[in-house]
Structure 1
Amino acid sequence: MKLARKVAMVTGAASGIGKEIAFTFAEAGAKVAIADLNVDAAHGAAGEIDARYGKGTAIGIGMDVTSETQVDAGMDETVARFGQLDILVSNAGIQIVAPVDDYDFAKWKQMLAIHLDGAFLTTRAALRHMYRQGQGGSIIYMGSVHSKEASLLKAPYVTAKHGLSGLAKVVAKEGAKHKVRANVICPGFVRTPLVDKQIPEQAKTLGITEEEVVRTIMLKDTVDGEFTTAKDVAEAALFFAGFESNALTGQSIVVSHGWFMQ
């Protein structure tokens, strides 16, 4: 199997895209740590993976990615349990929509902390283990089409997702001598609870119907009017995780039904 004898941590993996990635990695042979703010949901997702792929395939870890202590402890727990760490998927994130002139500063800081501080802290902890192991590794950031483009009402989200591209490029350069690669997945709109929450919020703010939000904002620039699926994103993550050469590092893949084309 493509990820046989590999160990991965996926943050924000108790639901949505992160959970799909965790299941896809387990199917490919990896051991998986499900890290999530909701510890009960993390254990539940790990139990589902164990039930499908065998006991001991996954563990659940409670983790606030903005907490240095929790991140370091969770990474240490993963290595203690599985013996190594080969893959990090920095996926944890939230969304709060509002125009810039009405955006609460505390919410701005919360958004950047989860998306950027969380990516930094989990990356630093993962690199320390990967460098010490000397077997290489893969860091995968969950960016967005908003790593490339902008949308109304999403100033901190767009800022953070652009920032992940810069972080990935630095990690790619620094990690190269250790055979650690860093890349970014940039999904289009995926029908997760995070996106479902935005639909009524944007409809209210923009004064349009929810159907118009979907048709004229979320799917307007796709080639086929379709949402990207969590499985689409998980397959891109599997591709990055299984590509073991420095030939593919510091790059991004846009998975968006053509919402954004490079």
Structure 2
Amino acid sequence: MREPKPAVAITHGARKRFGQHFLTDPSILGRIADAVGIVAGATVVEIGPGRGALTAPLVSRVGPSGRLIAVEVDRDLAASLRTHYAERPEVTIHGGDVLDTDIGALAGGPYLLAGNIPYNITTPILFRALERPRAERMVFLVQREVAERLAAAPASETYGALSANVQAVATIEILFKVSAGAFVPPPQVDSAVIRVTPRTDPDIEAHEEAAFRTMVQGLFSFRRKQMVRGVRDVCAVNGQGAVELLDRAGIRHTDRPEVLGPADFARLLRAWMR
């Protein structure tokens, strides 16, 4: 399938303050759009369309019966995209920062999510994307190192707070790698395309998510310490209180945060909150 051209001319320079690196390889853009799994009538929200390189293949797959809503913080690019898609009623260009945007409300119903995520704000965008109501499926282009951290298993070198927090509510697949040369300007690191699928059986409930994230982040500040040490500090209990919490959660006192899975942390949270 021959992919349509970007909406905005290549002469629009990347702006460093927005962390802009424009993906230009049409075959990679097509693979990303395919990975979203768009069906007729679907609503797709795109984060950071930039020049519209990914927007174009997304629009071609959405078709006239669906909707494409693109959220762009760069006012000049947003204006250019609006002009380009002025006669396409299925396309909406929303000007603004995605971190200040209620994505679910913007979609107004079930939706899919896609985007080439700025490296400098990848983590906050991921957590914004995982707020409820969540997309049915998300496909993002991110820094390769971040992709590996997101997908990392407990006890691996790259597993950490980000891994546990995201895996508690979603499954992560690394679909393929993308070299720096596929971008203008090229970033200093390689990238990867990931698919994030919200779990039907998350380890935590909606009302637990904020406390879970705070607890896990705090415990990983004691990554190499035994759990008793971290629990004492994070849960504000004495040594005996930490032992009792770990016992109730079924976690060994000598374990370290880096070997625990999201379900372990969820049990600890509930033992603490009980």
* TM-score of the two chains, using structure 1 as the length reference: 0.44
Question: Is the helix fraction higher in 1 or 2?
Answer: 1
Q: Which structure's CA Rg is the greater one?
A: 2
* TM-score of the two chains, using structure 2 as the length reference: 0.43
